[in-house]
Structure 1
Amino acid sequence: MDAPKKRARSREVSRPHVIALCFSAFLAVFAYRLYDLQITRYHQFATQSESNYQRDEIVRALRGEIRTRDGLLLATNRMAVDLIYKGGDVAAWPQIRYLSGFADVQLPSVAPGGEVTLVRNVPADKISALQEYTVMQPNLELRERVERVYPQGTFAAHMVGYVAEANEREVEEDGYALADLVGRSGLEASLQHELRGENGIRRLEVTAAGRPQTERIIDPGQKGRDVVLTIDAKLQRAAEKALQEGLADVNKARLKRASPTESVVKGAIIALDPRTNEVLALASAPTFNPNWFAQSPRPPQLAEALQGNGGQPMLNRVVQMFDAGSVFKPTSTLAYIEKWGNKTFACPPGIRFGGWRRNWAGHHMGQMDGRKAISNSCNTWYYQAAIDADPIVFSNYLARRAKDMGFGGPTGLELIGEKIGNLPSAESYKARKADYWPGQALSFAIGQDALLVTPAQIAYALSTLVNEGTQRPLTLVRSVNGQRAAAKPAKRVPGARKNFRLIKEGMEMTTLQLGGVNGNGTASHILGPHRFPVRTGGKTGTAENALSRRYNYAYTNAWYEGYGPVDNPDLLVVAFFENGGEGSGTALPAVAKVFAAHWCLKVDGRGYLEGPPSSQQPCLKNQAMEVEQLVVRKPGKQP
């Protein structure tokens, strides 16, 4: 066969083969696609199909509850119901508007796919009737929401704090869902991780119009952890009452000096057990009601409080910094005697050093050592001590020792926003290239001239003194989810015990009638043995501030720090009144009232014991402490 015929026959044979091959390839691709859709991607499309009639919703996690150590409920939850509108016409709107409890509600414009909350917190007695109207209307929905509730209202408000719904940033960056509650202040904020819980998922079967038919829980979520505080409810009430009653003492001092009176008291009280540094009471005035943040519409008091009206009620004064004044003198006394000795100086009405520097008393008070300087609060003793030690050297050493004692840093309180204060010295002025004058050291020695502390720091440092150099952080948390919180580790502050004891002797003399030229301790008129059946120690404080320097002595900050019983202290209290006058006239009575509540004594509105000391038997609470309250056990170690 010649070549042309062979080529023609070859083309006739190969053409069917090519067609068959193409057809086979097409069938193979079709079969692969069919396998991919029906087998490989079955679950994906099955899920998409189910999603046409299924909808997932969040099961909102309940926040953990907060209680005092004696069981008083401070923060809990309730289910609130909101009326949601998704746009479009609404049948029987007049009846729905009436049942919602808000007759003035109007239907707003809503973007496609959007929704608007028409009514928050639908009244409970209206919900059932309202459901009958909304169940057949897909553009209306009654939606449950978890709402935080504070059953005690203003009680311990600054410590507990408040919550608000998560904002857009928290939803996008922190993993919150819309309407999740987030702590904004107090323990609600600082313990957010423990309290928040984990949301669950509810799967709904819905109609084509979006109305729910059936539901099942896919993930129940997890409730937040409950927290029990170290706070004693009885002592907390006594502290808050003492603050409010202090307004009469503040205005008494104002009237004496022909100054305008106050309508609201501004102050703080913190009480703790110095054996563990568990906080038993933490009160600040004026206060606010955390329930305001959940109410709808928001009450006018909330706007006033947020604007700072009425004495800045949102400010927790326990952790804010103020001029210290004489409650700092135990620390400055300790710093001086441990390096330069317990020297005796005269206590004249004033001395001259870069100008005239006066004592609070207008007469000569005799010779004093460090102990009597504390009990009589003799300013001129401290001036002479600073001069004797060299003002520059003394200011630097005092700042370092004050830091050791707990000033200029956090106290351990589980509260956000705690200020650290300010400890000035020649070194700190030099570091920021500011002018420093030697005479400033004399002011530092009496707690003045930009030396700023918080009431919590005063309590922290006093606890270190009472425990003769053993320092434990303060704490508000007793247990989380039923598990006792581990004791925070204690440390030893440098210093000889004999020096700490000498300071304690001076503070105990504060409540004694010393007699002679030295007179009486500055707290003896209320807490002296002839007045009070429990022996205590303490220190009064009257601190000048911007207002007192500008106007008069009636605007000084009033302080008192005290502890007892002196032989085995189980209570330590610090009271502070901003622009409250003299410490012995305002803060001291407040502390006496807290003392009385703790030891089951009866005092009058001025802080004086009702009847002679022998007429009342105190319920002293010096029972033995459990080892785990004081020691953090290490693995494998026994106490």
Structure 2
Amino acid sequence: MSNIPETGRTSRVRIRLVIIQVLVLSMFVTLGGRLWYLQIRNGEEYYHEAKSNHVQRVVQPAVRGSILDARGIALADNETRLVVSASRTQLMKMKDRGKAVMTRLASVLDMAPKEVMDKVRLCDSETPKPCWNGSPYQPIPVTLEATTQQALQLRERPEDFPGITAEPTAVRRYPAPGGTRTAQVLGYLSPVTDAEIQKAKDTDSPHLRSDQVGRSGIERTYDTQLRGKAEVTSYEVDNLGRVMGQTKSDPGVPGATLVTSIDARVQSVAEFELQQAMKTVRNETDKITGRKYEADSGAVVVMETRTGRIVAMASQPDYDPNAWVGGISGTDYARLTSKSSNYPLLNRAIQGQAPAGSIFKVVSASAAVRAGYDFDGKYNCSSSYSLGGRSFANFESKGHGPITLGDALKFSCNTVFYALGHKEWQRDGGLKPNKDTHDWFYRTAREFGLGSETGVDLPNEVTGRIPDRRWKKSFWAANKDSWCKQGKKGGTYVQQIAYESCLEGNQLKAFDSINFAIGQGDVLVTPIQMATAYAAISNGGTLYNPTVGKAVISPDGKRVDMIKPASHGRLPIDAKTINDLDKGLRSVVAPGGTAAWRFGGWPLDKIPMRAKTGTAQVYGKQTTSWLATYTDDFTIVMTISQGGTGSGASGPAVRNIYNAMYGLDMAGNQDLKRALLPKPQAQLPRVNPDGSIEAPEIKPYVPPSPEELAPPALAGPPAAPPKHQD
């Protein structure tokens, strides 16, 4: 037994419990104090430190989908290049704002330091090109053409080049197969902007800062399909940038492939022949001005008549879309946007506007029939038409006596349409219009699709202009003050016109209507509008929306989404009138027609040809050449600004395009082995099991030799053109 009394033992236990309680209490006090220290006194400091432990996203941009022609030939694709990029965010954190690093980088890349610094500065309204138009938070390409040796120098000395990377990257390429650029149709890319990122963040196709987006052409129209989805891997990193773990990974998806209806071979011919026609006519003298023709711009459209699909579309002047890859230089940007180069970025097939001239007469003939005139009736084709003491001459002042509307198309007789336009203006009340005016000529023009967009799948199409009564009033209201200020009675021609417009510019006058009837005056049309209208005559009346895109194929090749032809209306005439127009247009290429001298030897029995020539007058400029044509399968419309007559300037080029497509020589002999496209391309390119698409070879276009252009039956001196060309 223990000698310690019970009371003493209890006392010791209590002492121990007290000690333990004191220790526990001390621990709680210490912990509480520490918590107060961390959360209250230094809470803000540790909050910011914790906040600096964040998620960093690493983005691997998706490979952009290819753009192919109808047979599978690449019009736009990608190639791997060594790309040197700079992180502007890191450079701006340096004391000298990265100047030393960029100077060293310039030395390695054999560039001037200023050139490197210009590339990484941000674009604004006052900063000239080159500059960076994308997000300041994404790597900015300095060069897309680094050598392996240059890349190794940068990687071996990372301490000398902080914020600089050198990586193999897929870069957009426009290979120009067969020498064809297809520039304005394809468009170009540039970096996404912060404003675009914000605008698209809640849509089905949000942008990442690394995205390149289409800025024009089909690169823009089909940007969502072509762009694909970038691979994004998210890492948790601390404030020192050390990776603490991977939090999420979203696999990327390459962009889809866009198959177009463009045939690269026909496109090559169209581009060459348009350019050659402009060069040729620049060596010819304009009889009106006594100067050489300027032929400053032009366009040609080749379209399938039964679908509206675009086979070729060329515009001059053009440019190399590769100039935009990796950021455009200041010199190239100035050239592409300057007046002296005549704005090659414009696609004049859908943005070039001019009076239609005589190719408009199919509209006027249709309007006349709707107004009650007999197509086969007789109308006086006099050498001139008088109105209010003024005489309006027929083209080259030639008359043909009483003729039908079909013959009026054949001979392109202005005075027949002058008289019809004047009579309809009078029937509608003249200067005091009736409440129920029919306005057949203006209404018919609008129902032919003029004055409105055609719906082509290319951005920035313009509407043209149909100057009816409503337009006259709105235009007068917008310009009255300027006209009244500028106008002067009895002054110069411009001052007198301004004076008259100030007083009565809101009125639709007889002069306006007779000019309108031959596609002159304030009428403005585009080549795509006229191609759509003439294709509708060919196909029986359907106005198709012109389309370049034909199908979208998934990256693995397993899914094909066809882009089906769509219509935006029908011609406002019956089948008989369409047939009458067709006959009249056939006569234009027959003996005596205004285009006959350009289609001599054409096999009309095998491949029926229809055409309408046009020569449009523009104040202060030389005449604009128009030629609208079609067969059963294709429609071709060409225009050359300040290029002279329709058949004279555009005729040879259009004939050569048809010859190449159908495999014809100038004598009308057909060799289908040489024919590029005797029928529209129905099938899509073949897709291999791995998703790749087979592409045939393409050779550059070889223009016909002088011997080929002169058939044996016409050997010797070329025949003189007819007096009346239009």
TM-score, L = length of structure 2:
0.70
SS across alignment from 2:615: strand
**Alignment partner of 1:621 out of 678, 688, 691:** 678
SS across alignment from 1:381: helix
CA deviation digits over 1:27-46, x for unaligned, max 9? 9x98xx99xx9xxxxxxx9x
In the TM superposition, residue 473 of structure 1 has moved relative to its aligned partner by: 1.6
CA deviation digits over 1:312-347, x for unaligned, max 9? 211111012211111100111011023322231121
| Equivalent residues in 2 for 1:527-542, closer than 5 Å | 527-529=599-601, 534-542=607-615
**Alignment partner of 1:544 out of 587, 608, 617:** 617
CA deviation digits over 1:237-272, x for unaligned, max 9? 111011111123422443655644467741000011
Between 1:529-538 and 1:433-442, the stretch displaced more is 529-538
Which residue is 2:445 aligned to? 402
Query: Residues 189 and 214 of structure 2 are in contact (CA less than 8 Å); yes or no, is this contact kept in structure 1?
Result: yes
Which residue is 1:589 aligned to? 652
SS across alignment from 1:483: strand
**Alignment partner of 2:419 out of 378, 384, 389:** 384
Distance 2:56 2:370 in 1: 73
Which residue is 1:288 aligned to? 319
SS across alignment from 1:373: helix
SS across alignment from 2:299: strand
| Equivalent residues in 2 for 1:177-576, closer than 5 Å | 177-203=208-234, 210=241, 218-254=249-285, 259-261=290-292, 265-295=296-326, 298=329, 300-320=331-351, 321-342=353-374, 343-354=377-388, 355-391=390-426, 393=428, 396-430=439-473, 434-481=506-553, 482-489=560-567, 491-513=569-591, 520-529=592-601, 534-548=607-621, 555-564=622-631, 569-576=632-639
In the TM superposition, residue 470 of structure 1 has moved relative to its aligned partner by: 2.4
In the TM superposition, residue 196 of structure 1 has moved relative to its aligned partner by: 2.3
Which residue is 1:552 aligned to? none
Query: Residues 52 and 238 of structure 2 are in contact (CA less than 8 Å); yes or no, is this contact kept in structure 1?
Result: no
SS across alignment from 1:574: strand
Distance 2:339 2:460 in 1: 17
Which residue is 1:3 aligned to? none
CA deviation digits over 1:142-174, x for unaligned, max 9? 155654221228711001111111223223333
Which amino acid is the alignment partner of residue 142 of structure 1? T
Distance 2:141 2:638 in 1: 47
Query: Residues 97 and 103 of structure 1 are in contact (CA less than 8 Å); yes or no, is this contact kept in structure 2?
Result: yes
**Is the aligned partner of 1:151 residue 2:160?**
no
C-alpha change, 1:439 and 1:258, in structure 2 (3 Å) is closer
SS across alignment from 1:193: helix
SS across alignment from 2:439: helix
C-alpha change, 1:465 and 1:82, in structure 2 (3 Å) is same
Query: Residues 372 and 506 of structure 1 are in contact (CA less than 8 Å); yes or no, is this contact kept in structure 2?
Result: yes
**Alignment partner of 1:169 out of 169, 176, 195:** 195
Query: Residues 304 and 680 of structure 2 are in contact (CA less than 8 Å); yes or no, is this contact kept in structure 1?
Result: no
C-alpha RMSD of matched pairs (Å) = 4.0
CA deviation digits over 1:553-605, x for unaligned, max 9? xx1010000011xxxx0111000001111111011222111111210124xxx
C-alpha change, 1:510 and 1:436, in structure 2 (3 Å) is same
Between 1:162-171 and 1:377-386, the stretch displaced more is 162-171
Distance 1:88 1:135 in 2: 18
Query: Residues 347 and 381 of structure 1 are in contact (CA less than 8 Å); yes or no, is this contact kept in structure 2?
Result: yes
Distance 2:276 2:199 in 1: 46
C-alpha change, 1:476 and 1:468, in structure 2 (3 Å) is same
Query: Residues 234 and 597 of structure 1 are in contact (CA less than 8 Å); yes or no, is this contact kept in structure 2?
Result: no
C-alpha change, 1:219 and 1:371, in structure 2 (3 Å) is same
Which amino acid is the alignment partner of residue 183 of structure 2? A
CA deviation digits over 1:264-322, x for unaligned, max 9? 74100001110111110011000011111225671623311112322221111101221
Which residue is 2:59 aligned to? 58
CA deviation digits over 1:467-499, x for unaligned, max 9? 222232211110012322233247544422001
| Equivalent residues in 2 for 1:38-49, closer than 5 Å | none
Distance 1:269 1:508 in 2: 21
In the TM superposition, residue 373 of structure 1 has moved relative to its aligned partner by: 0.3
C-alpha change, 1:441 and 1:80, in structure 2 (3 Å) is farther
C-alpha change, 1:319 and 1:107, in structure 2 (3 Å) is closer
Query: Residues 92 and 133 of structure 1 are in contact (CA less than 8 Å); yes or no, is this contact kept in structure 2?
Result: no
Which residue is 1:600 aligned to? 663
In the TM superposition, residue 213 of structure 1 has moved relative to its aligned partner by: 11
SS across alignment from 2:540: coil
CA deviation digits over 1:589-625, x for unaligned, max 9? 22111111210124xxxxxx2xx33476795835897
Which amino acid is the alignment partner of residue 590 of structure 1? A
SS across alignment from 2:509: coil
Distance 2:67 2:153 in 1: 34
C-alpha change, 1:184 and 1:615, in structure 2 (3 Å) is closer
Query: Residues 225 and 480 of structure 1 are in contact (CA less than 8 Å); yes or no, is this contact kept in structure 2?
Result: yes
Which residue is 2:503 aligned to? none
Equivalent residues, number: 569
Which amino acid is the alignment partner of residue 180 of structure 1? D
Between 1:124-133 and 1:574-583, the stretch displaced more is 124-133
Distance 1:151 1:530 in 2: 35
CA deviation digits over 1:200-257, x for unaligned, max 9? 2134687986588998981222222221111111111111011111123422443655
Distance 2:562 2:418 in 1: 48
Which residue is 2:11 aligned to? none
| Equivalent residues in 2 for 1:14-53, closer than 5 Å | 52=53
C-alpha change, 1:440 and 1:168, in structure 2 (3 Å) is same
Query: Residues 134 and 141 of structure 1 are in contact (CA less than 8 Å); yes or no, is this contact kept in structure 2?
Result: no
SS across alignment from 2:392: strand
C-alpha change, 1:107 and 1:500, in structure 2 (3 Å) is closer
Which residue is 2:557 aligned to? none
Distance 1:122 1:616 in 2: 45
Distance 1:330 1:527 in 2: 20
Distance 1:344 1:414 in 2: 43
Query: Residues 538 and 561 of structure 1 are in contact (CA less than 8 Å); yes or no, is this contact kept in structure 2?
Result: yes
Query: Residues 396 and 427 of structure 1 are in contact (CA less than 8 Å); yes or no, is this contact kept in structure 2?
Result: no
**Alignment partner of 1:101 out of 110, 121, 124:** 110
**Is the aligned partner of 1:72 residue 2:144?**
no
Query: Residues 102 and 113 of structure 2 are in contact (CA less than 8 Å); yes or no, is this contact kept in structure 1?
Result: no
TM-score, L = length of structure 1:
0.79
C-alpha change, 1:262 and 1:294, in structure 2 (3 Å) is farther
Distance 1:348 1:161 in 2: 48
C-alpha change, 1:414 and 1:384, in structure 2 (3 Å) is same
Query: Residues 626 and 639 of structure 2 are in contact (CA less than 8 Å); yes or no, is this contact kept in structure 1?
Result: yes
Ranges in structure 1 where 5+ consecutive residues have no aligned partner: 1-18, 38-44, 514-519, 549-554, 603-608, 627-639
Distance 2:289 2:51 in 1: 80
Query: Residues 340 and 389 of structure 1 are in contact (CA less than 8 Å); yes or no, is this contact kept in structure 2?
Result: no
